């Protein structure tokens, strides 16, 4: 699986240099970073929204699997968000002349990253598992509205959009050539598959860690019931 993904990414990267550069940018040749910037941004939005929904499900059902899913999805959202931010900053320097412009999209995306980062600050502040899960889930579900607003509403407000350096409505109006789009879509699919693969691995690890902890707890309980003598048991874990 991982070799296929690596091969796919290499092929997409090579192919990205074959298509004709987009014309609307000051440095069209160097605008190719969009092939990675745009898919990462879309995937960040998707994982952030999924994390908030999974947190909501955890609060409603109190099923640990939703807490693991929310945690893993937020981690993927933050990772992809950082990739978006780094590629965006590079693009900004090359095309617009400086690293940071306080552009509406740049700023709103930075706030999204702060929201995602605060989730991990909350998790680190609680040592007890149930409190940590509950509070971080409540926070994550609370972030859904600000994230939707910051990604889909704020940058499109007329008074904000008119001052933005980001090209408006490129996706909706189909300003890229079909070749350009095919590379963006290919990279998007590859980024998404890689992210989902990592996400699933994280969830599986969390489930295994939890079952190990449960078994430890059972061992401790059985040890308590036989206080007269110490009992050592070997544990085998099957995936």
- Identified binder of another protein from the candidate list 87, 92, 141, 186, rule CB under 8 A: 141
Applying CB under 8 A, the span of 6-14, 17-25, 36-44, 148-156 interacting with another protein comes to 148-156
- Identified binder of another protein from the candidate list 15, 64, 96, 154, rule CB under 8 A: 154
Whole-angstrom CA distances from 58 to 15, 64, 179 are 42, 7, 42
> Does 33 help bind another protein (rule: CB under 8 A)?
no
> Does 139 help bind another protein (rule: CB under 8 A)?
yes
Distance CA 192, CA 202 (A): 15
Specify the 3-state DSSP secondary structure of 1: coil
> Does 64 help bind another protein (rule: CB under 8 A)?
no
Q: What is the DSSP code string of the chain?
A: -HHHHHHHHHHHHHHHTTSPPPSSSSSGGGGGGHHHHHHHHHHHHHHHHHHHHHHHHHHHH--HHHHHHHHHHHHHHHHHHHHHHHHHHHHIIIIISSS----HHHHHHHHHHHHHHHHHHHHHH--SHHHHHHHHHHHHHHTHHHHHIIIIIGGGSHHHHTT-SSPTTHHHHT-S-HHHHHHHHHHHHHHHHHHHHHHHHHHHHHHHHHHHHHHHHHHHHHHHH-TTS----------
Scanning the structure block, which residue is given the tokens 């910037």? 37
- Identified binder of another protein from the candidate list 86, 89, 94, 118, rule CB under 8 A: 118
Nearest approach in angstroms of CB 150 to another protein is 6
Applying CB under 8 A, the span of 71-79, 145-153, 197-205, 217-225 interacting with another protein comes to 145-153
Nearest approach in angstroms of CB 96 to another protein is 21
Reading the block at residue 84, the tokens are 């978006």
Nearest approach in angstroms of CB 84 to another protein is 17
> Does 149 help bind another protein (rule: CB under 8 A)?
yes
> Does 134 help bind another protein (rule: CB under 8 A)?
yes
> Does 145 help bind another protein (rule: CB under 8 A)?
yes
Applying CB under 8 A, the span of 74-82, 150-158, 172-180, 183-191 interacting with another protein comes to 150-158
> Does 101 help bind another protein (rule: CB under 8 A)?
no
Find out whether 58 and 79 touch, Cβ atoms under 8 Å.
Answer: no
> Does 115 help bind another protein (rule: CB under 8 A)?
yes
Nearest approach in angstroms of CB 71 to another protein is 16
- Between 150 and 190, whose beta carbon lies closer to another protein? 150
Binding-site ranges for another protein (CB under 8 A): 59, 111, 114-115, 117-118, 121-122, 125-127, 130-131, 134-135, 137-139, 141-143, 145-146, 149-150, 154, 157-159
């Amino acid at each position: 699986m991982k070799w296929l993904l690596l091969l796919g990414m290499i092929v997409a990267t090579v192919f990205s240099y074959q298509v004709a550069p987009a014309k609307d940018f000051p440095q069209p040749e160097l605008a190719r970073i969009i092939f990675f910037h745009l898919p990462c941004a879309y995937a960040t939005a998707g994982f952030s929204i999924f994390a908030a929904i999974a947190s909501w499900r955890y609060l409603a059902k109190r099923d640990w699997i939703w807490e693991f899913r929310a945690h893993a999805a937020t981690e993927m959202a933050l990772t992809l968000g950082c990739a978006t931010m780094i590629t965006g900053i590079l693009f900004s320097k090359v095309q617009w002349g400086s690293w940071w412009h306080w552009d509406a999209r740049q700023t709103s995306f930075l706030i999204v990253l702060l929201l995602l980062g605060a989730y991990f600050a909350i998790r680190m502040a609680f040592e007890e598992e149930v409190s940590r899960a509950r509070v971080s889930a409540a926070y994550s579900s609370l972030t859904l509205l600000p994230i939707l607003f910051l990604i889909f509403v704020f940058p499109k407000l007329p008074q904000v959009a008119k001052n933005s350096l980001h090209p408006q409505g490129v996706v909706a109006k189909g300003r890229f050539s079909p070749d350009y789009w095919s590379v963006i879509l290919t990279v998007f699919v590859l980024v998404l598959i890689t992210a989902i693969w990592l996400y699933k691995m994280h969830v599986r690890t969390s489930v295994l860690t939890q079952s190990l902890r449960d078994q430890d707890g059972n061992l401790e309980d059985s040890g308590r019931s036989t206080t007269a003598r110490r009992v050592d048991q070997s544990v085998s874990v099957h995936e």
